[in-house]
Amino acid sequence: MISKKDFIKINDYLWEIPKFFRPDMRVPARIYVSEEMLEEIEEDAINQVINVATLPGIIKYSLAMPDIHSGYGFCVHPDTKILTDLGFNLAIKDFQKIWNAQSLKTIDFKLGKLIETPIQEFLKIKPKRKIFKVITKTGREIIATDDHPFYTPEGMIKLGRLNHGNKIAIYPFEGVPYEKPSSKIIISESDIKETLLKLGRKQREVGFEQNLRALKKRNLLPLTYDHPKLPYILKIMGFAFGDASMNFIGKRGDGVLHFSAKEREDLEEIRKDIKKIGYIPSPIHRHDIKNTYINHCFCINAASLLILLQTLGVPQGNKVFQSYRIPGWIFRAPLWQKRLFLASFFGSELRIPHRRKNRKTIFNCPVLTMNKAEELIDNGKDFLNDISKLLKEFKVKIIYINKRRKHTSKHGRISWSLELVFSSKIQSLINLWTKVGFEYNRKRTFFANVAGQYLKLKNQVLKEKERVIKFEIPQLLKTNLSYQKIADQLATINPLTRRFIVDVCWKFNKGIKNISPQMPNSFPTFQEFFEEAIRGLGFSGMVWDEIATIKEISYRGWVYDFTVVHQDHNFIANNFVVSNCIGGVAATKYPEGVISPGGVGYDISCSVRLLRSDYSKKEIQPYLEKLATEIQKEVPSGLGRGRAIKLSTEQINKILEGGVPKLVEQGYGEEEDIENCEEGGRMKEADAQCVSEHAKNRGRDQVGTLGSGNHFAEIQKVDEIFDEEIAKTFGLFKDQIVIMIHTGSRGLGHQIATDYIKIMMQAMPKYGIKLPDRELACVPFNSPEGQRYFKAMCAAANYSWSNRHIITYYIRKAWEKVLGKKAKLKLVYDVAHNIAKIEEHEVNGQKMKLIVHRKGATRAFPPHHSELPAKYKEVGQPVIVPGSMGTASYLLVGTEKGKETFYTTAHGSGRRMSRHAAIKKFSGQEIIQNLKQRGIIVKCHSLKGIAEEAAGAYKDVEKVVDVTHQAGLSKKVARLVPLAVIKGE
């Protein structure tokens, strides 16, 4: 717990947490606030400033501006079930003592599939955020903090920004609960010796002892239920009962195991598991069978492995002409181990889900087929009954075993196809596909996931109808209400239609009993569902669900989270695909210091741009409503909302590397726009090749769009001028109309940050970097990962400047449409507040090149600085500090005193309330009415968006700017007040 006594007061506006406060701090942490504001800072925010002070290579101080606020700490409820790489689920709270020995399932977005990832860190904290419960249309539930990111069509979005009806990614396979295995021995050294003797091997011969040594060397004897390699052996066994064979060949009796499958990637998964138990498989070979069928295979020359598997009960040779059963010891294994065996066997042998031709919402009975010699039919039936017995534990029903087709080999031997026919009852199929599932078969896993989700939705509809039939309608009929009034109370759009309610009421009154719910005609076919459920998700196994309810709940216990090693930092929690900001500045040495995406933020180069007109408020007032309407028409806004035109990859690359100069060259804007933009609107180090295709795709239609959240365009009036000479240099006068634009690099920048935080988290151990906060993931600047991130960040900055530049183009278009061709808007300045720059600063009297990270903080160069435009050399750099909705914004200027903070100042008001808390406290409609009474026009597509950005959800911009001014970080030039606000959703 941090208290006021832990701070050293430097002056009335500067407070320091000394370096000795925590042993991992490399520099002191400083916060620029008044004493009154210090009392209001959240402890999480202070901890973040301290955590920044632990960055390797950090220079002088970790610094927070007056708009400091907390930004992360997302976690889930302790009972949340997490899917592991072995297909069992375990409550997140139960990972506390075993997390470093476990791996989880994660979605690799680049490969588009589920893979395993080790856990890097286990987190347990008391929540400081609001807690919400989400229930989806298919009945999935999760409890998490409002800032926990969930995967949506827009990428990872915090829970607090989601609402009823939003799509959310689900991984339908859930597996079975974990049960700790016993230490009971399955096979021992003596069991292996017995197998060797049965095979005709003699003790004291080289082959006999060699096989024993090979198994001992791999630590496979004795093999117990809790042996760490048993899960992989079980999977290999399951596949060996299907599409694999074991044989001893040659005079020496060499053991060869042969594995085959249609898809190469499925065999790759088997090869990985074989390596985990200590054996080296051959490469995979492709076979074109009669030019019509492609198959892949590999083998292992390892007699010891064959002997191990045979001892465990796997048949050797041609399985059609052998008698064998499911090994008895498997029946005594925990359920999750039984699942591994079954799922691997099914991956080899069980058909994919397929629907009936004449019933497009119903699936055929799954069928498992095996061939058995005529004299071994009873043994084959016993084997299938063993499978049936195992499946009962998963509540998967079997209808019957069928003897179907007769086969005659070229040698005249007769065999029959035996079929194990599964029940097509909904719950049985859900259990089969989401609890047992498939291993070593990505195609079957994918179809099982989609089919399982479809049946979950179908089941929800039937349960809802059944509840109404059994309970609600009978109770309401007793009150003598008419059918229509009962329908008024119970009917929804679907599935509880008015016609359904009235029909059930009529049947009850006619004495018809045993009314069973039926699927409505409007229910989608599987094909219709399939296309929508996987749109944009490919064959990853994820499907889209829809939020049915989302509400805040009261919870005071612990919450938990993971950091995983994989670069796409995500895991499966209660079937949801979930992932794992402060105003400040930090500088590290160049080039040996580190660079951190977290030190820049997710909205790379989010910036503010100020345009000035030649008009006064009096002159523009008659046109104000029309101007706001035209700007809203011209500039798309909202979460994920883009322009109608989608850029090609080539066009995106030109923007990423060329920035504003490239757009001006193409006729968008003027040369003066380049001069009045930070970095001239282009960072030359940008490299489009360092930006992922996923990031580019997210940015293809978003150049020239506002986005959501606190992003906006405002028509403002210069309300007050504090320095006439500097204001004149900036081209400002009292009552003048100006336009402020606040937005960033949209989905592209967010994706770049997401991509590289994950890459760096994976790379940090390589560089010996350990940090208390995953959001500060970093690598040495001159490392390959550091260089690629810096080039990608520069590209995102170019995209961000281009985004605002195109917005400017369309605002100018709207301006001229309303006011005429002579009405011009000139750019005052455009400056970023989420960016890392290589700059030269004086540190302890010595000039030094630094990597300056500004996250939620604005650059504020003083007069005569070499990077200033010529017209501003004498006065200093314009600093734009936007307020919250309906409040004032400020234009300031950089000062020499700002060198204490590497010439950095505040970037805005800073939130003091979460978005969900704001929605709960404020009414969007009331805010609009209040602003209207004050003469402020609001244009927004969403009342929710208005409530989220209520002025009461932010700190007082007047106090923030006053501290900034009094501390000398930058100097007030003009106060700007809003006349019309155009908001994102």
- Residue 907 among the catalytic residues: yes
Let me know: does 777 contact 597? Beta carbons within 8 Å.
yes
d(Cα 134, Cα 550) in Å, to the nearest integer?
Answer: 5
Joined together, the tokens standing for residue 900 give: 């204490």
Place of tokens 């670069």: 567
d(Cα 981, Cα 747) in Å, to the nearest integer?
Answer: 23
Q: What is the dihedral of CA 850, 855, 860, 865, to 10 degrees?
A: 30
d(Cα 233, Cα 340) in Å, to the nearest integer?
Answer: 9
List CB contacts of 245: < 8 A, sequence separation 6 or more: 257, 258, 317, 318, 319
Per DSSP (E only), the strands in 565-627 are 570-573, 576-579, 584-589, 594-595, 607-616
For the packed helices 649-665 and 784-819, what is the interaxial angle rounded to 10 degrees? 60
Joined together, the tokens standing for residue 813 give: 């278009």
List CB contacts of 751: < 8 A, sequence separation 6 or more: 155, 692, 694, 695, 698
List CB contacts of 621: < 8 A, sequence separation 6 or more: none
Q: What is the DSSP letter of 469?
A: I
Place of tokens 């005609």: 521
* Among 400, 391, 395, 394, residue whose Cα is nearest residue 421: 400
Q: What is the torsional sign of CA 42, 48, 51, 56? A: negative
Torsions phi, psi of 665, nearest 5? -60, -30
d(Cα 221, Cα 210) in Å, to the nearest integer?
Answer: 14
Phi-psi region of 340 (alpha: psi -120 to 50; beta: other; left: phi over 0): alpha
List CB contacts of 126: < 8 A, sequence separation 6 or more: 556, 558, 559
> How many other CB atoms are found less than 10 A from the CB of residue 479?
8
Active-site annotation holder among 694, 907, 916, 965 = 907
d(Cα 790, Cα 779) in Å, to the nearest integer?
Answer: 11
> How many other CB atoms are found less than 10 A from the CB of residue 666?
10
What are the residues facing 297 on neighbouring strands? Answer: 260, 285
Place of tokens 């020239």: 704
Just list the catalytic residues. Answer: 907
